[in-house]
């Protein structure tokens, strides 16, 4: 089994990711940490616990993390995820409590243990990268427990929160810049599962309506129905869930190594992931910015059908 930790801002599509990670037989879900993002931290935590209950995984520790971005005011996406972040669907909320540790401390402890045993962890951030930036700068030694980071965020092409920027990176650009810099310095292999592939793992309404017989299946059906309604389609992407699919079955994802920087200023471009697709074997010494110190495996294509089938089979 592959040990993983999810960092989430649950969120309808974070919920799709949690169901998959909690139930897939090849994943060992060690912990889930929460950050404010799509909705406020209290709602994120409640939604996360609720989804794990539905998945039959009350054993997974869940920790509260950063409520707000490092520098800028919080901006949420209730228009995409509903007032409560879970689409305001009729579903009983969890009464379970969280781990007493802050998210950064839970991450530190689980990663240090992984470093000691050698069973290294894949970290899957699906939220603004606030918790992960704090972790890597406060406890850099914990990175020894990381096998890799596979994060949902950014885009080589267009954004969603703005024309330039994807929501997670746009919400906390300083955190994203710190994570990419620290991952480069600490030698942590990093994959960017961005908007270039995010929308391509689609579950149809017909497929979703076939989901029944367990709490997990019922919730999964409601999530797809709600996302289909919001996007006015006859199906919906599992969004963040695709990043978990990529960890389970990396051969379904095409990636290319590109230098990536985060735009931290700009009138219209703050929070953009600047993916440098130029040929650096040519003479680019005239570029005053030079080569970005951090190279990221950028997802450029995905086998959406395969991943959607994996998700359906697992959540049901």
Site size for Ca ion (CB under 5 A): 5
State the nearest-atom distance from the C-beta of 81 to Ca ion, in Å: 9
- Indicate the residue among 139 and 199 with the shorter CB distance to ligand RIB: 199
The single residue among 14, 53, 225, 276 that binds Ca ion, judged by CB under 5 A, is 14
Q: How would you classify the pairing of strands 62-64 and 190-193?
A: unpaired
What is the closest distance, in whole angstroms, from the C-beta atom of residue 9 to ligand RIB in the complex? Answer: 6
Question: Which residues within the stretch 67-126 sit at the binding site for ligand RIB (CB under 6 A)?
Answer: 77, 80, 126
- Report if residue 263 touches ligand RIB, rule: CB under 6 A: no
Q: How far is the CB of 195 from ligand RIB (least distance, A)?
A: 7
As a whole number of Å, the CA-based R_g of the chain is 18
**Minimum CB separation from ligand RIB for residue 33, in Å?**
14
Positions 52 through 71 that interact with Ca ion (CB under 5 A): none
Mode of pairing for the β-strands spanning 235-237 and 146-152: unpaired
| CB nearer ligand RIB, residue 3 or residue 37 | 37
- Binding pattern for the stretch 124-143 against ligand RIB, x by CB under 6 A and - elsewhere: --x-----------------
CB of 283 to ligand RIB, least distance (A): 36
Residues 175-194 that bind Ca ion (CB under 5 A): none
Report if residue 11 touches Ca ion, rule: CB under 5 A.
yes
x-or-dash pattern for ligand RIB, window 162-201, by CB under 6 A?
Answer: ----xxx---------------------------------
20 in Cβ contact with 46 (< 8 Å): no
Give CA–CA dist 302/279, Å, rounded.
Answer: 23
Tokens read off for 167: 């929501």
Binding site partner of 182, from Ca ion, ligand RIB, none, Cβ cut-off 5-8 A by kind: none
Decide: is 152 part of the binding site for ligand RIB (CB under 6 A). Answer: yes
Closest CA to 88 of 15, 32, 141: 15
The partner in contact with residue 238, picked from Ca ion, ligand RIB, none with C-beta cut-offs of 5 to 8 angstroms by kind, is: none
Nearer CB in complex with ligand RIB: 126/253:
126
Contacts with ligand RIB, residue ranges (CB under 6 A) = 11, 13-14, 38, 77, 80, 126, 152, 160, 166-168, 239-240
Give contact residues for Ca ion (rule: CB under 5 A). 9, 11, 14, 126, 240
């Amino acid at each position: 089994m592959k040990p993983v930790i999810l960092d989430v801002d649950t969120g309808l599509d974070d919920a799709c990711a949690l169901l998959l990670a909690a139930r897939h037989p090849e994943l060992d879900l060690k912990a889930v940490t929460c950050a404010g993002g799509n909705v406020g931290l209290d709602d994120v935590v409640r939604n996360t616990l609720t989804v794990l209950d539905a998945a039959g995984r009350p054993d997974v520790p869940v920790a509260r993390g950063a409520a707000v971005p490092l520098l800028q005011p919080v901006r949420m996406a209730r228009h995409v995820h509903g007032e409560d972040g879970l689409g305001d669907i009729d579903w009983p909320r969890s009464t379970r409590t969280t781990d007493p540790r802050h998210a950064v401390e839970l991450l530190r402890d689980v990663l240090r243990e992984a470093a000691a045993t050698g069973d290294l962890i894949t970290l899957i951030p699906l939220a603004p990268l606030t918790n992960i930036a704090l972790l890597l700068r406060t406890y850099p030694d914990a990175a020894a427990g990381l096998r890799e980071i596979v994060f949902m965020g950014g885009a080589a092409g267009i954004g969603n929160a703005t024309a330039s920027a994807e929501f997670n990176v746009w919400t906390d650009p300083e955190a994203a810049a710190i994570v990419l810099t620290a991952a480069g310095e600490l030698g942590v292999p990093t994959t960017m599962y961005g908007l270039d592939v995010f929308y391509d793992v689609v579950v149809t309404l017909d497929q979703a309506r076939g989901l029944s017989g367990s709490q997990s299946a019922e919730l999964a059906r409601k999530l797809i129905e709600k996302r289909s309604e919001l996007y006015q389609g006859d199906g919906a992407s599992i969004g963040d869930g695709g990043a978990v699919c990529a960890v389970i079955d990396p051969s379904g994802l095409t990636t290319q190594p590109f230098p990536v920087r985060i735009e931290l200023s700009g009138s219209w471009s703050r929070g953009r992931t600047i993916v440098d697709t130029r040929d650096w074997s040519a003479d680019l010494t005239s570029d005053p910015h030079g080569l970005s110190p951090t190279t990221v495996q950028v997802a450029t294509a995905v086998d959406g059908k395969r991943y959607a089938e994996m998700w359906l089979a697992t959540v049901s």
